[in-house]
Structure 1
Amino acid sequence: MTELISPSLSSGWFSYAIRVYPHHTDYAGIVWHGSYITWMEEARVEYLRSAGVSFDQLVAAGVDLPVVDLTLRYHQAAKMGEELLIMTKFSKSQKLRLTFDYEIKAVDPTNPEGDRLCVTASVSLVPVDSQKRKILRSLPSLLDQAIAGLLG
């Protein structure tokens, strides 16, 4: 099996590689649906870190980014032992709603047809004041700058 690929940015997509371990699967060795959501969050955190903002900075600034909308479409099952690419990109910003798109692909370098699409998804977040528990009226500057960098 190949080594996991380091996070990278290619053609607008941020790629975050993982390997499917037994604890990610059901008894049949098929990825449990909740694992995809965990990997999407990991990829999003690393994607934002690559743009210059880490979640510990957001927490220190008193900002939470709760999920307000989540859609997943399952195409093909991922299986134990497979290497997956969790690909994400910033999709759009509507007022304060930040939306990220995802493609999760099984990587098989021996397959002449390329990677196998397992899941497509979209996640929307809103910035919330962690003390007042109210939606912020504007994006914090460090998050606004990171998003501007992602849109390049």
Structure 2
Amino acid sequence: MAEFRWPVRVYYEDTDSGGVVYYANYLKFMERARTEWLRSRGLEQDRLREEQGIIFAVRAAEIEFLRPARFNQALEVTARLAEARRASLSFEQVVYPAGSSEAPCCSGRIRIACLDARSFRPRALPSSLLTEILDDD
């Protein structure tokens, strides 16, 4: 599937005492990019919960920290659907310095589980939703 890109600015609150992005915040940046990827397909997570009774939750994350990003730096976070299974989606994601050909700051593979909103048990993605997700316009 096509790669989706989302801009992120590093705020002071994203950094540690050394002025670099605290490692866990890369996961937040990736989460924002996946949310915006869904939104770009007309899918809002609150509506999915209310109307279809499903939520998404991170099931697994494999992350490599490659180089630091710093306070006030502009970044681009990518999201590319790597695999769609019956009840999960896997994304390949990379955090780059914005507008640069520099090496990435961080990369990862994130697996998202589809869960029933009430029971938090795994649930198959509705076929209509899967069609919208896989539509690569």
- Do the two structures share a fold, i.e. TM-score over 0.5? yes
Aligned equivalents of 2:106 and 2:29: distance in 1?
12
Cα distance in 2, alignment partners of residues 106 and 25 from structure 1: 15
User: Once the two structures are superposed, what CA deviation does each residue of 1:116-140 show, in whole Å capped at 9, x if it has no partner?
Assistant: 311110110111111122211x212
Partner of 2:109: 122
Question: Residues 131 and 39 of structure 1: is their aligned pair in 2 closer, same or farther, counting only changes over 3 Å?
Answer: same
Of 99, 108, 132, 2:119 maps to 132
In structure 1, give the amino acid aligned to 2:91: F
RMSD: 1.7
The residue correspondences of 1:68-87 to structure 2 (distance < 5 A) are: 68-87=59-78
1:41 aligns with 2:28: no
Q: Shift of residue 93 of structure 1?
A: 1.7
- The structural deviation recorded for 1:108 is 5.0
Q: 2-side partners of 1:133 and 1:28: how far apart?
A: 38
Name the residue aligned to 2:11.
21
Q: Does 1:30 align with 2:20?
A: yes
Question: What displacement does 1:97 show?
Answer: 2.0
Please say if 1:146 is aligned against 2:137.
no
Which ranges of 4 or more aligned residues in structure 1 deviate by more than 4 Å?
none
How far apart, CA to CA, are the structure 2 residues paired with 1:108 and 1:39? 17
* Structure 2 residues not aligned, in runs of 5+: none
Distance, in Å, in 2 between the alignment partners of 1:92 and 1:117 is: 22
**Structure-2 separation of matches of 1:91 and 1:56:** 24
Q: In the aligned structure 2, how far is the partner of 1:139 from the partner of 1:108? A: 36
Q: Which amino acid in 1 is paired with 2:132?
A: A
Other structure's SS at 2:35 match: helix
How many pairs does the alignment contain?
136
Separation (CA, whole Å) in 1 of partners of 2:132 and 2:3:
15
Deviations 1:31-58 (A, max 9, x none): 0011111111111010011112111111
Highest RCO, 1 vs 2 (Cα 8 Å, sep ≥ 6) = 2
Alignment gaps of 5+ in structure 1: 1-10
1:70-111 deviations in whole A, cap 9, x for unaligned? 1100110111111100011111023322101101001255xx
Deviation sequence 1:2-45 (CA, Å, 0-9, x none): xxxxxxxxx92111001111110001101001111111111101
